[in-house]
Amino acid sequence: MNINIFTRIALIMGAVAAVSLPASAQTTKKISATKASDNGIIYSLPSTALKVTVEVEKVVKQPGDFARYARKYLNLNPVMTPSTQYNLKSVTLNAEGVTVDNEERYMVQFKNGTTPYMILTADNIPLGINVDEESVTATVAANPIPTAVAPQPTILQQPVARQVVTEEMIQAQSTAKRAELAAAKIYELRQSRNDIISGDADNMPSDGKAMQLALDNLAAQEAALTAMFAGTEQHSTEVRTFTIIPEDDDSRTIVCRISATRGIVDDTDLSGDPLWVDVKVVSRGQLPLAESGEVRKFPKGGLAYRIPGNASVDVIYMDNVVCSLQLPMAQLGTVFGVEPGMFVDKKAPAYARFDPTTGSIIELGAR
């Protein structure tokens, strides 16, 4: 399906930093209605963006120097050829409010001599009106995103790999002889471990802590020698987040592609399999009705807010749904308003709190 069914797809490059809390925070600002601003406040109602975080695992396999002798001496199935393999590990879906253009800018005007104020995000999305700045937040509850994991040195890239190479192995004239000596050393290490555990070692460790240290050292040496036969696997993860702003209808697009040999690649790179985002309309926001059953009219000079619709979002990879989310979406809604006079009532001025993802009112009351 044509990817133009989405207004845009923006790629946020690079690995995602560690997040300790499932939230995404923004800075806020307090704007007051003053004579200088004609007693008005300008703000923007957001569109709902989807943030798709893709995590792939990279596995690098390298054969050991003695791979050809792994079956003979250790009865192992070794890595025989170098390889790099990428696999999809997880997909995380979140939503956030974004300002797309100037069409969703509004101005609410208040009576002269009053001083109502709004709390806005840095993008002028409303968070609250007549509420303390400390009591509102631009933090949107979100599903926690994974952190990229760098590759760690394999056992053969650590100092112990050099320490286990004996003088005899260095002096051996052939790989076959070195493999034989390495295998003999492995069985020697295993015997030493058994002797310590059974208490038959000539030089037993002095206490439990010393025993554990000795056993750990023997295990590391055996692992290094075994890797010379079996080979190594090095695991790491790559994490990238894509931001998509859906249109106001059912739609499907490719977020990116995942290549088995290159990881996350561009949506046009046919070396990878596509990761789709499928958006389906569940319901659309409806204007409120009067007691007569007729649609209520937008109040004159009203404070505009959004009545959102709802959407079902599926992420599809290799014909499988790997992640789903049901969420309110601004693009599927409609704009209505409340009387601005209620916010300047001298006896009980009203307050409101807004959802920064959709621009809807989530709380409205009197102070």
pLDDT per residue as tens digits for the range 332-347: 999 999 988 888 888 8
CA distance 275 to 263: 12
Q: Alpha carbon 167 to chain centroid distance?
A: 50
**CB within 8 Å of 73: residues ≥ 6 apart:** 66, 179, 180, 183, 229
Given a contact cutoff of 8 angstroms between Cβ atoms, the answer to whether 79 and 62 are in contact is: yes
Given a contact cutoff of 8 angstroms between Cβ atoms, the answer to whether 62 and 232 are in contact is: yes
Is the dihedral angle over the CA atoms 343, 345, 346, 347 positive or is it negative? negative
Given a contact cutoff of 8 angstroms between Cβ atoms, the answer to whether 349 and 64 are in contact is: no
Return the pLDDT at 139: 58
Return the pLDDT at 93: 95
Return the pLDDT at 138: 59
- Across the range 280-307, mean pLDDT stands at 90
212, amino acid identity: Q
Q: Which class for 252: exposed (0-12), middle (13-18), buried (19 or more C-beta within 10 A)?
A: middle
Return the pLDDT at 13: 25
CA distance 269 to 265: 6
Return the pLDDT at 172: 93
Q: How many CB atoms lie within 10 A of CB 332?
A: 24
Residue 6 has pLDDT above 60, yes or no: no
229, amino acid identity: F
The helix/strand/coil state of 74 is helix
Q: Looking up tokens 């790997």, which residue turns up?
A: 322
For helices 175-198 and 208-230, the axis angle rounded to 10 degrees is 160
Residue 9 has pLDDT above 60, yes or no: no
CA of 41: how far to CAs of 95, 101, 117, 302, in Å? 26, 18, 8, 12
Mean per-residue pLDDT over the chain, rounded:
86
pLDDT one-digit tens code per residue, 155-205: 999 999 999 999 999 999 999 999 999 999 999 999 998 988 888 887 888
Residue 88 has pLDDT above 50, yes or no: yes
Residue 366 has pLDDT above 90, yes or no: no
